[in-house]
Amino acid sequence: MRMTSHAAIRSLKSTVILPIVALVAVTACDKDKPPEPAEIAVHMSEHFSRAADLQRAVVNGDMEAVEGTANWLAEHSKMSGAPASWDPYLAEMRAAAEVAAKSPDLYTAAKATARVGAACGDCHKGHGATVKFSIDGALAEGGDTEAHMNRHVWASARLWEGLVVPSAEVWQTGAKALDEVPLVPEEVTDDDELMTEMQLAANRVHELGAGARQALDPDMRAATYGELLATCSRCHRATGAGQI
Ligand code: HEC
Ligand code: HEC
């Protein structure tokens, strides 16, 4: 029975961890004109997918992929025609990405990745930007491991969205979804040592959900989100959960 729920989770492998943003048609960049909203949307969708890759790399504990994607974010150039008002925010985002790229360990990378998200949110807020996410499906129900993992994924996508938009309301939705009955390690393994490790990580996720509800500013939110990514990664490493 135990292996059944494990296998069921495995079947979720193709599920995308983070929300996908609907794309708007591409138009070529013209150096002399300020960018059109559709051009910004395309440019941003690239930010967005790189930032999603970065988070996936962190959860997978893949430092090489962390370095590659974070470097892209740290080095890619400003959108042509974008106003000077973008500069300080871009600098903030690049600085966070650079810390992630040069991280000596996964924990540092996780924290810096969350800082990248907060930097996205700072620029959006500073420019009154409207950012919309489309997140598939509703919060999964049920007490088995698969439903739990689905809720983790859903909740962390909401937290990320809350950071990037930024939106206190969406952040709280994600926080609430994490702050629930922890995952039951016995459903996944018979190994005592592994069970202990999983229990610690599961408790930590639960704790972070409660903490997230109290995180009222971008700094606190980024700190909480970074801890969360590190905890996902830690349990995945312990359980050999494989690449997401
Ligand atoms: C308590 C341990 C634990 C924690 C904490 C944890 N996971 Fe998992 N996760 C697992 C296990 C076990 C699997 C199943 C792997 C398998 O069956 O190959 C899994 C699978 C997944 C999958 C893929 C499902 C599949 O089809 O393999 C995703 C995506 C995922 N987790 C995301 C996350 C995210 C995001 C977090 C943090 C918010 C997180 N996990 C936290 C243990 C954990
Ligand atoms: C330097 C400023 C700046 C930074 C940094 C920034 N953005 Fe944006 N972003 C904008 C502006 C301006 C818009 C346009 C919003 C509008 O049309 O109202 C936007 C729009 C978006 C949109 C909506 C696009 C659409 O479909 O309309 C998404 C998604 C987005 N950004 C994601 C991100 C992510 C993820 C990051 C960080 C990795 C990021 N942005 C960093 C300025 C920024």
pLDDT tens digits for 107-133? 999 999 999 999 999 999 999 998 888
- Indicate which atom in ligand 1 lies nearest the CA of residue 13: 26
Q: Using CA atoms, how far apart are residues 167 and 161, in angstroms rounded to an integer?
A: 7
d(CA 223, ligand 1 centre) in Å: 21
pLDDT band at 150 (very low <50, low <70, confident <90, very high): confident
Residue 15 has pLDDT above 60, yes or no: no
d(CA 120, ligand 2 centre) in Å: 7
d(CA 77, ligand 1 centre) in Å: 34
Q: Exposed/middle/buried for 121, CB within 10 Å: 0-12, 13-18, 19+?
A: buried
Q: Using CA atoms, how far apart are residues 204 and 101, in angstroms rounded to an integer?
A: 26
The pLDDT of residue 137 = 65
Closest C-alpha to ligand 1, atom 2:
235
Instruction: Report which of 22, 69, 65 is spatially closest to residue 243, judged by C-alpha positions.
Output: 65
How far lies 202's CA from each of 65, 71, 228, in Å? 25, 31, 11
Whether omega before 34 lies within 30 degrees of 0, making that bond cis, reads no
Tokens for 216, please give them. 């009222």
| 51 C-beta closer than 6 A to ligand 2 | yes
d(CA 197, ligand 2 centre) in Å: 38
Instruction: Report which of 54, 121, 130, 46 is spatially closest to residue 89, judged by C-alpha positions.
Output: 121
What are the pLDDT digits (tens) for 184-230? 777 778 889 998 998 899 889 989 999 999 999 999 999 999 999 99
Instruction: Report which of 144, 142, 135, 153 is spatially closest to residue 205, judged by C-alpha positions.
Output: 153
Q: Exposed/middle/buried for 103, CB within 10 Å: 0-12, 13-18, 19+?
A: buried
- Whether 212 and 174 have beta carbons less than 8 Å apart is answered as yes
Closest C-alpha to ligand 2, atom 1:
86
Residue 180 has pLDDT above 80, yes or no: no
The pLDDT of residue 29 = 39
| 17 C-beta closer than 6 A to ligand 1 | yes
Q: Using CA atoms, how far apart are residues 186 and 191, in angstroms rounded to an integer?
A: 9
d(CA 61, ligand 1 centre) in Å: 12
Residue 74 has pLDDT above 50, yes or no: yes
| 202 C-beta closer than 6 A to ligand 1 | yes
| 228 C-beta closer than 6 A to ligand 1 | yes
- Indicate which atom in ligand 1 lies nearest the CA of residue 156: 38
Residue 34 has pLDDT above 50, yes or no: yes
Residue 182 has pLDDT above 70, yes or no: no
| 23 C-beta closer than 6 A to ligand 2 | no
Residues 6 or more apart whose CB falls under 8 angstroms from that of 200 comprise: none
Q: What number of CA atoms fall less than 13 Å from residue 218's CA on the CB side?
A: 18
- Whether 56 and 244 have beta carbons less than 8 Å apart is answered as yes
Residue 7 has pLDDT above 50, yes or no: no
| 239 C-beta closer than 6 A to ligand 1 | yes
Range 37-59 average pLDDT: 92
The pLDDT of residue 243 = 84
| 123 C-beta closer than 6 A to ligand 2 | yes
Range 170-179 average pLDDT: 91
